């Protein structure tokens, strides 16, 4: 029988039988081949929250929902102890974590450490992100990402190359001495075949006509960022297949009455996706609320732009020879320039609910479902639905992470551990 035909409602169970096979809170993965019922949490679906239901897992896949008093006889029951079960968070912009910066450690071990650090905050899928660097560093990051994918490092979905093909006028914390123009060699490097997903952020106004189209046709997800492109230039890039906008509002031309800029193009377009850093530092909450109203929640995805302090122990780090300090959750260079963030996806979800007045279903969509669709992975992950991979996060009543599952493998190391 196929997974789609294995409907839990077909197999009844009595409450007494359920109690006899209930595992304690914190019980780990069921034996190979067994089915697991996650019981006692509200389940956040793509369009609603359901209660008094169990979530059934079969191996690395979601089987479906079943009433708590009608579970399959052969499943192991795991008590969640309240809270919410959501699809695991997907973060497409992660510079570092666990005191590791991808630029400094473009290796499988570096990527593994970054992914592990973010998993405790509910991130079950991510793209380690290289900040503008020399060509050899780009090659190393791409090679490390491919090796991590080949090894099946938990949570790794590909890599994000943010620069070095950016506009110096919007460099932010990036080192412009490492910037380089887009040419045929660059396109060949970025468009090399990949086992996962590859995102490239560039300034479209500095790329030769056809560059975005060439990368897009090669399966690369091209985003605009650190750019001086105006409204017309942004639309030209969208016509070539531009897939998204990196950290909306930050390091791009703004929306003005007679010059709508890149922000105007991003909010008007219905097919691309906009990343938002909801930390209260990068963008004013009112601006983000307006963006959501204008673009619609289906086009917004939460990103962290996280740096090494996330999941780490150090209060400072070095970026391209520049000392970056972290104070009150804010990463800045010596002149006060924002340098990524110390944001986690769990915090981003809470901030989205609290600052942007979103309910948990909408916030979950922006943290999981929308990034999955941006990455063209919506048929594999990003929502709780039958047949999808069991990538999940358990939040307690305070919306803090208590456990994660990647491909059905549970990890109880949450953000308070």
Active site members: 305
Three-state SS for the chain is CCHHHCCHHHCCCCHHHHHHCEECCCCCCCCCCCEEEEECCEEECCCCEECCEEEEEECCEEEEEEECCCCCCCEEEEECCCCEEEECEEEEEECEECCEECCCCCCHHHHHHHHHHHHCCCEEEEEEEEECCCHHHHHHHHHHHHHHHHHCCCCECEEEEECCCCCHHHCCCCCHHHCCCCCHHHHHHHCCCCCCEEEEEECHHHCCCCHHHHHHHCCCEEEECCCCCCHHHHHHHHHCCCCEECCCCCCCCCCCCCCCHHHHHHHHCCCCEEEECCCCCCCCHHHHHHHHHHHCHHHEEECCCECCCCCCCCCEEEECCEEEEEECCEEECCCCCECCECCCHHHHHHHHHHHCCCCHHHHHHHHHHHHHHHCCCCCCCCCCCCCCECCEEEECCCCCEEEEEECCEEECCCCCC
């Amino acid at each position: 029988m196929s997974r789609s035909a294995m409907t839990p409602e077909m197999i009844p169970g009595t409450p007494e039988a359920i109690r006899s096979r209930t595992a304690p809170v914190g019980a780990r993965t069921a034996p190979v081949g067994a089915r697991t019922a996650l019981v006692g949490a509200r389940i956040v679906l793509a369009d609603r929250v359901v209660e008094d239901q169990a979530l059934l897992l079969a191996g690395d896949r979601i089987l479906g929902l079943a009433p708590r008093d009608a579970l399959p006889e052969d499943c192991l029951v795991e008590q969640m102890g309240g809270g919410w079960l959501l699809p695991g968070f997907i973060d497409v912009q992660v510079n570092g974590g666990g005191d590791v910066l991808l630029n400094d450690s473009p290796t499988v071990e570096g990527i593994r450490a970054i992914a592990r650090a973010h998993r405790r905050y509910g991130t079950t899928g991510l793209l380690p992100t290289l900040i503008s660097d020399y060509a050899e560093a780009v090659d190393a990051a791409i090679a490390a990402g491919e090796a991590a994918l080949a090894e099946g490092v938990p949570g790794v979905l590909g890599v994000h190359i943010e620069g070095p093909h950016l506009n110096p006028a919007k460099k932010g914390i990036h080192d412009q001495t490492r910037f380089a123009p887009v040419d045929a060699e660059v396109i060949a490097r970025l468009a090399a075949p990949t086992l996962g997903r590859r995102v490239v952020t560039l300034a479209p106004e500095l790329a030769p006509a056809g560059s975005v189209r060439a990368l897009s046709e090669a399966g690369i997800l091209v985003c605009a960022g650190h750019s001086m492109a105006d409204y017309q230039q942004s639309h030209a890039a969208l016509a070539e297949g531009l897939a998204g906008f990196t950290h909306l509002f930050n390091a791009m031309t703004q929306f003005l009455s007679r010059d709508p800029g890149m922000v105007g193009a991003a909010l008007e377009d219905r097919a691309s996706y906009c990343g938002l850093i909801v930390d209260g530092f990068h963008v004013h909450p009112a601006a983000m609320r307006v963006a959501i109203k204008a673009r619609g929640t289906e086009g917004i995805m939460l990103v962290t732009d996280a740096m090494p302090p996330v999941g780490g122990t150090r209060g400072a780090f070095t970026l391209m020879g520049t000392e970056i300090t972290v104070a009150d959750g804010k990463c800045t260079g010596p002149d006060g320039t924002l340098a990524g963030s110390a944001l986690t996806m769990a915090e981003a979800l809470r901030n989205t609910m609290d600052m942007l007045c979103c309910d948990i279903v909408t916030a979950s969509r922006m943290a999981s479902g929308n990034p999955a669709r941006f990455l063209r992975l919506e048929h594999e992950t990003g929502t709780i639905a039958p047949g999808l991979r069991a990538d999940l996060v358990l939040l307690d009543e305070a919306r803090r992470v208590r456990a994660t599952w990647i491909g059905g493998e549970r990890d109880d190391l949450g953000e308070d551990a």
